Chain A
């Protein structure tokens, strides 16, 4: 569902925020478990944000889900 909303927002150029879930170890930004890939980083050298600290709500244009 989030993927579809993200896609629709992009197509229609609508500002959109999405609330992500990911399994967490510590929940405070230390273990780096709850990673989400940033949309502007290359697949062979990905950059990750972490849902516990950078999220859980993200601008839908900034993350790859």
Chain B
């Protein structure tokens, strides 16, 4: 039984990664789980300069999910390179840095630095719904995604994954921009823009008014989008959105995801990622699957 995969040139011992923004730089979770068991770690969104993030309240619970508006709080790439990266490198797992910026120049400058670091790949964040400039501004049109991805591609030799937002009319056509710009893979979905109101204060529960919805509530939307993107592009897909166990992970892989990420699931149980790996193995045993890659895209659609 083989759970190893090669995702966009990145060797992983299994297809399970942890999603950006839900796992920090790994230190907090290392108290609970063995990071060596993970296929990969996608770091907190990291920018060229430190960012302080949005005003609190930043999170709230919703039915089968949560809203967040953290606003990309992070210590900046220099601090990451000096402190968190050497620590992360002690573990035998792929390290992928989620990169965010406010302008094309900033994305390019950041990726120039990332290209010199001992990391396995970059996940370009074109999809954070909680910051005023950049990110979503590029991520919602074919032209925007293509322009920033092409610019980054010129300075980045490492595997380039582009993370897309679901807050668009046609995600498949936008994923095509990622492929056309020469990126190695696409990851989806980021959070769905949402809002929740405290009926007693009559104010939104988040200080930023709106935030990104994640958790099991968004899983059917994410599975549908992964399927649609898989029909459109030939580059590999990192699928995510509400995965909390092995069954969910298999569902994404059948829809066309080559690897998956656990996001909000890490908050329910810090061992969700590790449990998911063993549950994938259980499924492989049950259905006598030799290689985990064999199930990718194997959904059998109903013919109507």
Interface residues of A (CB under 8 A from B): 22-37, 45-48
Contact = CB atoms under 8 A, between A and B. Distances in A.
A23 B61 contact: yes
Contacts of A28: 28-29, 31-32, 270
A25 B53 contact: no
Contact of B52 (A23, A26, A33, A48): A48
A34 B267 CA distance: 13
Given A46-B52, A48-B73, A26 B57 contact: no
A33 B24 contact: no
Given A25-B267, A48-B52, A30 B59 contact: no
A42 B278 CA distance: 47
Contacts of A36: 56
B28 A47 contact: no
B266 interface: yes
Q: What are the 8 A-B residue pairs with the smallest beta carbon separation, nearest first?
A: A30-B24, A33-B59, A30-B28, A28-B28, A35-B56, A26-B267, A29-B28, A25-B59
Interface in B147-183: none
B292 interface: no
Contact of A34 (B31, B59, B270): B59
Given A25-B267, A31-B24, A32-B73, A48 B57 contact: no
